[in-house]
Amino acid sequence: MKYLTLYDGRKFSIDSCIGCDIYNGKIDMSKSLIYENDFFRIIQDTENPIPGFFVISSKRHIRTFNELTSEDLYSLFRLITKTRKGMEKILGIKKVSTIQEDGNENMHFHIWFFPWYPWMNELNLNGYDTEKVRSIMKYSQENLRTDENIRKVHSAVNLMKSNY
């Protein structure tokens, strides 16, 4: 059995797919839900307690862009631009890396909106920008699961709700 530790420290077992387990309610991400429509959902990233680190995922279990319908695409690109603009206008995040990885066969389609903050540059990590993303995630999981920081994560979620 695989386990997932959420950004707030709660632990869940994973049946087969994290994305599907969130959609069917097995993994409770209700405090981090920003927006949903018939096709997609926008939530705080599951594991990393970085305020403004958001994820758009499909409701259907698909893996890649190749499986999106034209209806999905219209909805998705509207949400991508709204999310990126909202991060800047509402949260003051000037720089974002937008990442989609096909991953393994069980990967559930999702897009990361990774926010860059000045404190990340102060971490002495190798690499530059997207190379650093995984190291910053690891750092956040090891150091930022504090009550104060989790409040910041939820505050960013609640502020973004007015964006859609």
- Nearest-approach distance from CB 57 to Zn ion, in angstroms: 8
110 belongs to the binding site for Zn ion (CB under 5 A): no
- Nearest-approach distance from CB 155 to Zn ion, in angstroms: 29
Three-state DSSP class for residue 108: coil
Could you tell me the end-to-end alpha-carbon distance of the chain, in angstroms, rounded to an integer? Answer: 37
d(CA 52, CA 115): 6
Residue closer to Zn ion, measured from CB, 45 or 132: 45
d(CA 20, CA 128): 32
d(CA 31, CA 133): 24
Please select the residue that binds Zn ion; options are 41, 63, 108, 110, rule is CB under 5 A: 108
- Nearest-approach distance from CB 45 to Zn ion, in angstroms: 16
Q: Crossing angle for the helix pair 70-89 and 147-160, nearest 10 degrees?
A: 120
Q: How far is CA 140 from CA 42, 76, 83, 145, in A?
A: 20, 28, 22, 7
Do residues 63 and 105 touch, judged by C-beta distance below 8 A? Answer: yes
Site for Zn ion, residues 26 to 65, rule: CB under 5 A: 61
21 belongs to the binding site for Zn ion (CB under 5 A): no
20 belongs to the binding site for Zn ion (CB under 5 A): yes
d(CA 75, CA 140): 31
Please select the residue that binds Zn ion; options are 7, 12, 19, 83, rule is CB under 5 A: 19
Please select the residue that binds Zn ion; options are 4, 17, 33, 68, rule is CB under 5 A: 17
Which of the ranges 83-91, 106-114, 127-135, 148-156 carries the binding residues for Zn ion, by CB under 5 A?
106-114
Which of the ranges 52-60, 104-112, 123-131, 137-145 carries the binding residues for Zn ion, by CB under 5 A?
104-112
- Which residues in this chain contact Zn ion in the complex, by CB under 5 A? 17, 19-20, 61, 108
